[in-house]
Amino acid sequence: MLKEFRRIGRELARMNLISSHGGNMSVRMGERILITRRGCMLSQLGKDDLIEVDLMKEDSGVIMASSELIVHRAIYQETSALAVLHCHPPSAILLSLFVDEIIPLDSEGSYLLRRVPVLSWERTVGSEEVAKEVSAGLKDYKVVMVRGHGSFAIGEMLEEALMFSSALEVSSQIVILSRLLGEEVKEYRKKSEEYTKW
């Protein structure tokens, strides 16, 4: 499991989806969660950077677990996810400051994501409000954005959650660049009106 966490952590850094000590990830193992340590570097994970905690109740691992543990727990309790990835994709964060949903223009983003809701609170890190709304959003979507903060993606494996996170960032870059061009986008997708809803 450490090998897989390390692989995904290196990819997050290589793709510029996290800062040096940003982001967190976890997997569900029955009634337990394996989650990254609070304040660790995802690109340089060691064996002490993975913390095992109970899915439902507090235990000794909680003090060392990521500050987003409350959100990861809520997601596992409310969805069928087996992996959760939280990262800070810069283009998606920028776009989240201006829109209430990110609707991809590119083919891959349209196919994988359809649309990504942008959720907003004053307290964006590890709060009960974020846990409640993000877990509710992930019942219908594979990835959601917390305005100005970052994305939460789910999957059956960490790699699947990475795929959704990466697709979100690339799609966000394309949306931003299309706005800079200032011209009307030529629609090319069949039944394109359906891409504004899941």
Is the pLDDT score of 165 beyond 90?
A: yes
Look at residue 130 in the predicted model and tell me its pLDDT. Answer: 87
Is the pLDDT score of 193 beyond 80?
A: no
> Exposed e or buried b for every residue in 16-49, given b needs 16+ CB within 10 A?
ebbeeebbbbbbbeeeebbbbbbebbbbebeeeb
Taking the C-alpha atoms of residue 28 and residue 45, their distance in angstroms, rounded to an integer, is 18
Taking the C-alpha atoms of residue 78 and residue 103, their distance in angstroms, rounded to an integer, is 25
Could you give the percent of the chain with pLDDT greater than 90?
A: 77
Is the pLDDT score of 196 beyond 70?
A: no
Show me where the domains of the chain are located. 2-185
Quickly state the pLDDT bin for 92 (edges 50, 70, 90): very high
3-state secondary structure of 41: coil
Is the pLDDT score of 93 beyond 70?
A: yes
Taking the C-alpha atoms of residue 88 and residue 24, their distance in angstroms, rounded to an integer, is 10
Look at residue 57 in the predicted model and tell me its pLDDT. Answer: 82
Dump pLDDT digits (tens) for 19-43: 999 999 999 999 999 999 999 999 9
Look at residue 62 in the predicted model and tell me its pLDDT. Answer: 79
Check if CATH label 3.40.50.620 holds for domain 2-185.
Answer: no
Instruction: Tell me the average pLDDT of the chain.
Output: 91
3-state secondary structure of 151: strand
Quickly state the pLDDT bin for 106 (edges 50, 70, 90): very high
Look at residue 195 in the predicted model and tell me its pLDDT. Answer: 59
Is the pLDDT score of 198 beyond 60?
A: no
Dump pLDDT digits (tens) for 109-150: 999 998 999 998 876 676 788 889 999 999 999 999 999 999
Measured torsion, CA atoms of residues 130, 22, 10, 176, in degrees rounded to the nearest 10 = 70
